[in-house]
Structure 1
Amino acid sequence: MRHSHIALALLTAAVLSACGGNGSSGGDQTLKNKYSAQVSFGDSLSDIGTYAVGTVKTLGGGKFGINGDLASVNPALTGKNWTELMAAQLGLPAPCPALTGLEGDATKGFAVAVTAHPGCYGYAQGGARVSNPVGPSNKLTGSPVGALTLPVATQVQNHLNATGGKFKGDELVLMMAGANDVFMQLAGLSAGGTAAGTAAGNATFGSTLVGLLAADATNPQAAAQAIGAALQTESARPGHTDTSVVQAAVGAAAVQPGNSAVASVSVYGPMVAKAQAAAATAGAKAGADYAAANGPKLVAAMAATGTELATLIKTRIVGNGANFVVVNNMPDIGTTPLGRSLDAGTNALVNSMVKAFNDALFAGVSADAKVLYVDAYAASHDQATNPGPYGLTNVTTPACDLTAPRNALGSSLVCNGTNLIAGDVSHYSFADEVHPTPFVQLLLARYVSKYMAQKGWL
C-alpha cells in the first residue's frame, strides 16, 4: 500500500480530534452506515481491560499503554485504545471486556475469578495468539501474572456462542492479531538456541579441561579416562556447581602418576580459563547455528498463522453473517524499542516473520468485499522512520518507567501517570518496549477511519 499522504492525513485528523473530540470540523458528518454494535477480537493492542482486576487494578493498570484519563494534563493522554476511539466515533457505547480475570499467583493478587460480562463484545486479550492458547504471561509460561490469553479462534467462538451462532450483519467487527505468535516463536527459538549452546559449551569445557589436566600424567590416556569419569559423575550429581565439577576433575587428575603438580591452583587455574574460553566459543557457535537452521521454520510458521487467521475470518466471521470486518495487519515490530534492541540477524528474522504473516493474511482476505484490509504495518513503519509529520516527538524510548519499584511488572499494563519517565511523553510512540501510547492509538483509529470512509463504510 502506498502511503505518501498518510502522515498529513493522520496528523490533520489527530489535531482535529484533540481540538474537537470526534473531528467534526464542518461538512456532512452523517455516517453512511449505522452500526448496531462493535465487536473486537485480538490481542493487547485492542484489549480494553481484561486484566483490570486484583493487583493490576490496584497498581492503576488494566490496559497496555498509559492507563488513566490524563486529558486534563495533556489531550493526547486519554488512556483509550483504537477500538474505544472507533466506538466513540460511531456513536456506540463505550466498549467493555467480554471477560475479566487472572489465573496467576494468588499470594501476589494475580488470581481473580474469570468473569463473563454478557453484552460486552471486547474479546481482545493481552497475550492472545491466533489459535495457540499459551501466549505471553499465561500461567503455563511460568508467569505469576497468569494472563488468560484466549486465542482469537476461541474469542470468535465465544461470541458466536453468546449470539446464537451468528453475526447480525450490522455490527462493525474489528480484528488485529499475530504479534504474540511472533513473540512466542522467538522465545522458543531463543530457548532452543540457549539449550544447544549450553550443551555444546559444557561438552567442550569438559573435553578441553580433561585433556589439559591429563597432558602431563605418566599415562595421559589412562589419566584422561579417570578424570573424565570423575567430571561426569560430579556433573550428574544433583546440586553440583561449576566449582565442584572443576574440583572433582582436578582431584582425579592430581592422583594420577606423575601429575601431582596439577593440584596447585597456579597450574590448573589457567587450564580452567582456557577451557572456559573454548566453551564460550563453542556455545556461541552452536547457538548461532541453531538459529540459522531453525529461523526459516519460524517464517514458514508465521505464514501458516496468517493463512489460519484469514481462514478464520472468512469461515467463522464472514461465513456466519458479518458484513463489515476491519482487519488490521501486524504493525512493524522491527522498529519498536524491542525490535531495535535485537541484533541485526534477529531483527531481520522478525521482519521476515511479520512480512510472511501479513502477506498470507492479505492473500486470504483482500478479495472479500465484506473485509477491509488495513495496512497498519505501513503506517507504523512510516511513523518510526518519518515521525515529524505525525507529531511524534520520540519513536525509540518507552514513555513508561519500566523499572522496579515504580513499575512492579515492568510493563505498560500497570503504567499510569505515577510512573512515566520525566518530561512530556504525550507524543511518544511507545509506552513500553512494544505497546503504543494513547496518541499512537489515536493515529491508528484515524487511519482505520480513513480507509473505512474510502470504502463507503463511514
Structure 2
Amino acid sequence: MKNVRSWGVSAVVAVLLVACGGGDPDVPGTGSPAGAPTTKGTFTAVVSFGDSLSDVGTYAPATSLAGNGTAPYFGGKFTTNSATGTVWVENLATSMGIVVTPAEVGFGASSVKCPAAATPALAGTCTAYGQGGARVTDPNGIGHAGGALTVPVVTQIANHLTRFTSFKDSDLILVYAGNNDVFTQFGTFAATAAQVQADAAAGKLTADQANAALFNAQTLAQGEMKKAALELAALVRTQILAKGGKYVAVMTLSDIADTPFGNSLPASARPVLTDLSRIFNLWLRDALTNQPVQLIDTFTIFKDGYANPGKYGIVNNTVPACDATKISAITSGAVTDGSSLFCNSTPGAPYNGLRTGADVNTWQFADGVHPTTGGHKIISDAFAAQLHAFGWI
C-alpha cells in the first residue's frame, strides 16, 4: 500500500466544522461524561462486554486435545494459555474476590450458555460476555464464517438482560468494544487502496484520481467507525444505564498500529489504522457527554506502555511470543496464522506453542494483536488504577 495518503482526524474534524459554518463551539469529542458514582462500590459481579481482549474462554472447545470439542483444552483464550494464563477481566475480578466465567462457550453450530451453572454455586458467575471476533452490532464478526460465534455487543447485553432482567448496583460493568470494527473497516480500506494503486500503476487512474479515491475510501471507513461508536454509546445509555447500571466504565480503543500487526504495515498505512481508533474514540466520547459513566482512556494509557516498555517490565513488544510454525504443527496445519487462541505456554507440554526464548511475562504480545499473560496483567493493573482513581474500589 505504498503511497497511501492519510487524511487524519484533524482534517476530518475541520471538514465537519466547515460544514457547520465554522463557528459552532460544540466541537465533537470535547465533552466529558458526568455524574458517575464517586463512592466505593460493594461489588458482587464483574459484568464485561466486548471482544477477544475480554474473552475468558468462549472458544475453548476449538482447542480440544481430542479434537472433538471435549475437555481437556490446550487453548481457548487469546493470550499465552496455561494454568495461569488469565486475561485482564479475570485478573481484575480475582483482585476483587469475584469469580467470573464465560457467558457462552462453543464453536461452530454448538454452544452452551453459562456452562459454569452445572455447578449451582457458580450459576451467577457467567457474566463475561466478550467474544473473539465480536463487533458492536454486526453479528458477522471476524472469524464468524469459520465457526466463531462473534455474538455482537448489542446481543451480549440483551442476553444479560434476558438472564438477569436488569443490572444491579453491585455490578461492576465494563464495556470494551470496537476493535473488530476497526479491523473490518481497515480491511475494506486496504483492499480498495490496493485496487486503486494497481489501477494507477496501469494508467487507468491519474494521480489526482487515485488520491481522491483513497480519500473517499478512508472517509467511508471513518464514517463506519463513527457509526459504530454512536451505536455503542446508545447501548450504554439505553440498555445499561437505563436498565439499572450504576458503576459503568467504558474503554476507548488503543492505537492498533502499536502492535506487531500494525508494525508489519507500510508506513503510509499505519496512520490510517490509527485514525480509525481515534475517530471511534472521538464520537464515543461525544455521545457519552454528560452521561453518568467513566471513560478509561486506553489510547493514552497504552501509548505510554508501548513507548516505555521497561517501565512495565517488558523487554519485547515487537515480536509475538507464540510461534506460528509450532502452532501449525500442533493443529496439523489447521491454524497457520499463529493465533494465540491456540497458543499454550505450559513448559514441556507437547502442545506448547511458544517461540523459543519467549517469556510470557516480559514479552508483551502473544500474537499480532493480543497480549501475553504479562501484557494482560499490564492492562488489568492499569484499569484497576483507574477504578481506584474513580473511588470505586
Q: TM-score, normalised by structure 2?
A: 0.77
Amino acid at match of 1:161: T
Matched ranges for 1:412-451 at <5 A: 412-417=340-345, 418-425=352-359, 426-451=361-386
Are the aligned partners of 2:91 and 2:377 in contact in 1 as well (CA < 8 Å)?
Answer: yes
Whether 1:124 and 2:46 are equivalent positions in the alignment is: no
For each residue in 1:164-196, what CA deviation from the matched residue of structure 2 results, as whole angstroms up to 9, or x when unmatched? 2x1122111111011100101122223334555
Indicate which of 314, 325, 329 corresponds to 1:405: 329
Q: Quick one: distance in 1 between partners of 2:113 and 2:235?
A: 23
Are the aligned partners of 1:39 and 1:173 in contact in 2 as well (CA < 8 Å)?
Answer: yes
Q: Quick one: distance in 2 between partners of 1:430 and 1:284?
A: 41
Instruction: Compute the displacement of 1:307 (Å).
Output: 1.8
Q: Quick one: distance in 2 between partners of 1:424 and 1:54?
A: 24
Cα distance change, pair 122–135 in 1 and its aligned pair in 2 (3 A): same
Secondary structure in 1 matching 2:58: coil
Matched ranges for 1:17-416 at <5 A: 32-55=40-63, 60-69=74-83, 78-93=84-99, 95-103=100-108, 113-117=110-114, 119=124, 120-139=126-145, 145-164=146-165, 166-194=166-194, 200=199, 279=202, 290-365=213-288, 367-369=290-292, 371-403=293-325, 404-406=328-330, 408-409=334-335, 410=337, 411-416=339-344
Instruction: Compute the displacement of 1:46 (Å).
Output: 0.3
Instruction: Compute the displacement of 1:304 (Å).
Output: 2.3
Amino acid at match of 1:188: T
Q: Quick one: distance in 2 between partners of 1:393 and 1:282?
A: 47
Are the aligned partners of 2:62 and 2:76 in contact in 1 as well (CA < 8 Å)?
Answer: no
Are the aligned partners of 1:401 and 1:421 in contact in 2 as well (CA < 8 Å)?
Answer: yes
Cα distance change, pair 56–176 in 1 and its aligned pair in 2 (3 A): farther
Amino acid at match of 1:99: E
Amino acid at match of 1:128: A
Structure number with higher relative contact order (C-alpha < 8 Å, ≥ 6 residues apart): 2
Cα distance change, pair 420–282 in 1 and its aligned pair in 2 (3 A): farther
**2:36 aligned residue:** none
Q: Quick one: distance in 2 between partners of 1:54 and 1:333?
A: 26
Q: Quick one: distance in 2 between partners of 1:56 and 1:360?
A: 41
Aligned residues: 326
Instruction: Compute the displacement of 1:36 (Å).
Output: 1.8
Question: In terms of mean alpha carbon deviation, does 182-191 or 411-420 score higher?
Answer: 182-191
Q: Quick one: distance in 1 between partners of 2:290 and 2:389?
A: 16
For each residue in 1:148-172, what CA deviation from the matched residue of structure 2 results, as whole angstroms up to 9, or x when unmatched? 11110110011111112x1122111
Q: Quick one: distance in 2 between partners of 1:457 and 1:386?
A: 28
Q: Quick one: distance in 2 between partners of 1:385 and 1:56?
A: 38
Cα distance change, pair 54–306 in 1 and its aligned pair in 2 (3 A): closer
Instruction: Compute the displacement of 1:363 (Å).
Output: 2.2
Secondary structure in 2 matching 1:334: coil
Q: Quick one: distance in 2 between partners of 1:195 and 1:346?
A: 14
Rg larger in 1 or in 2?
1
Secondary structure in 2 matching 1:428: coil
Secondary structure in 2 matching 1:168: coil
Are the aligned partners of 1:127 and 1:149 in contact in 2 as well (CA < 8 Å)?
Answer: yes
Q: TM-score, normalised by structure 1?
A: 0.67
Secondary structure in 2 matching 1:174: strand
The structure richer in helix per residue is 1
Secondary structure in 2 matching 1:335: coil
Cα distance change, pair 97–448 in 1 and its aligned pair in 2 (3 A): same
For each residue in 1:389-447, what CA deviation from the matched residue of structure 2 results, as whole angstroms up to 9, or x when unmatched? 11110111111102332564221110112111111422111110000111121111111
Amino acid at match of 1:34: T
Secondary structure in 1 matching 2:53: coil
Q: Quick one: distance in 2 between partners of 1:136 and 1:305?
A: 15
Secondary structure in 2 matching 1:185: helix
Are the aligned partners of 1:197 and 1:282 in contact in 2 as well (CA < 8 Å)?
Answer: no
Q: Quick one: distance in 1 between partners of 2:289 and 2:381?
A: 20
Q: Quick one: distance in 1 between partners of 2:51 and 2:194?
A: 28
Aligned-residue identity in percent: 37
Structure 1: segments with no counterpart, 5+ residues? 1-30, 70-77, 104-111, 140-144, 202-277
Secondary structure in 2 matching 1:442: helix
Amino acid at match of 2:181: D
